[in-house]
């Protein structure tokens, strides 16, 4: 499951990461991994993964987003089941309803 591979890679690089926002909203910096789409063609899987980086400040969220991008574009490629990782887009994604600062980075990942 690609989401678990991404989650484990983020955690292995000392980031706090979840598959969903915990019921009790954490303090400090953390990430949420979400698969937003996938496909299968010629025995090769691809997935679109969104990673939301939360922090107590907008600057903190942007710094965490940069750390996530480094891990995703360098460290995740070291996993045997990962063929490629491409950054599709990243942007300020502050939650206007909860007033929580966050950035979101979207990746296209080819995996086996």
- Say how far apart CA 17 and CA 43 lie, in whole Å: 30
| Percent of the chain at pLDDT exceeding 90 | 88
Tell me the torsion sign for CA atoms 64, 6, 52, 41. Answer: positive
Of 83, 69, 95, nearest to 13 by C-alpha is 69
- Residue 101 maps to which CATH number? 3.30.2000.10
pLDDT at 26: 86
- Say how far apart CA 76 and CA 88 lie, in whole Å: 15
Number of domains in the chain: 1
Q: Is the pLDDT of residue 4 over 90?
A: yes
Structure confidence by residue, pLDDT tens digits, 61-100: 999 999 999 999 999 999 999 999 999 999 999 988 888 9
Backbone angles phi, psi at 75, to 5 degrees: -70, -40
pLDDT at 103: 98
Q: What's the domain range around 28? A: 2-111
């Amino acid at each position: 499951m690609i989401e678990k591979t991404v989650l484990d890679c983020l955690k292995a690089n000392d980031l706090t990461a979840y598959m969903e926002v915990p019921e009790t909203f954490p303090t400090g910096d953390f990430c949420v991994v979400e698969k937003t789409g996938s496909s299968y063609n010629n025995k090769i899987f691809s997935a679109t993964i969104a990673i939301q980086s939360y922090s107590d400040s907008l600057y903190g969220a942007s710094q965490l987003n940069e750390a996530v991008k480094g891990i995703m574009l360098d460290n995740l490629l070291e996993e045997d089941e990962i063929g490629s990782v491409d950054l599709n887009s990243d942007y300020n994604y502050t939650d206007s309803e909860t007033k929580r600062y966050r950035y979101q980075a979207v990746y296209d990942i080819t995996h086996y």
